[in-house]
């Protein structure tokens, strides 16, 4: 029987360097993509936390604005004036537009 000839691929030094660089670049881009994906995920979480905090502050501001409007309403001022023993004179009110 004849033995089969085995062909061996011989790589030159330059080809070995090129293949090595290609593998290193592939692995580097994979690691870089994973790192950037994690970073973007962390930033998205931070943005969502800030949005939540902004919404909470807006609710507080709205509540305080409503409280101010309630305390400065004409009826409330009239009640405070009566409790302090002051008189209400309609002639002293000036509208500023």
Q: pLDDT digit string (tens) for 20-40?
A: 999 999 999 999 999 999 999
Amino acid 5: pLDDT: 75
**Is the pTM for the entire model greater than 0.75?**
no
Confidence of residue 42 (pLDDT cuts 50, 70, 90): very high
- pLDDT above 70: residue 97: no
Helix H or strand E encompassing 56: helix 13-71
Which has the closest alpha carbon to 45: 34, 33, 37? 37
Amino acid 27: pLDDT: 97
**Dist CA 97 CA 94 (whole Å):** 10
- pLDDT above 70: residue 88: no
**Dist CA 26 CA 24 (whole Å):** 5
Contacts 24+ apart (CB under 8 A), 35-42: none
**Dist CA 77 CA 12 (whole Å):** 95
Higher pLDDT, 3 or 82: 82
Amino acid 23: pLDDT: 97
């Amino acid at each position: 029987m004849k033995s089969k000839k085995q062909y061996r691929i011989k790589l030159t030094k330059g080809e070995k360097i090129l293949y090595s660089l290609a593998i290193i670049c592939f692995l580097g881009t994979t690691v870089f993509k994973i790192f950037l994906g994690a970073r973007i995920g962390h930033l998205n979480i931070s943005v969502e936390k800030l949005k939540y905090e902004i919404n909470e502050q807006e609710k507080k501001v709205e509540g305080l604005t409503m409280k101010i409007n309630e305390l400065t309403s004409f009826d409330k001022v009239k009640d405070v004036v009566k409790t302090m023993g002051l008189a209400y004179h309609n002639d002293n009110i000036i509208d500023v537009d």
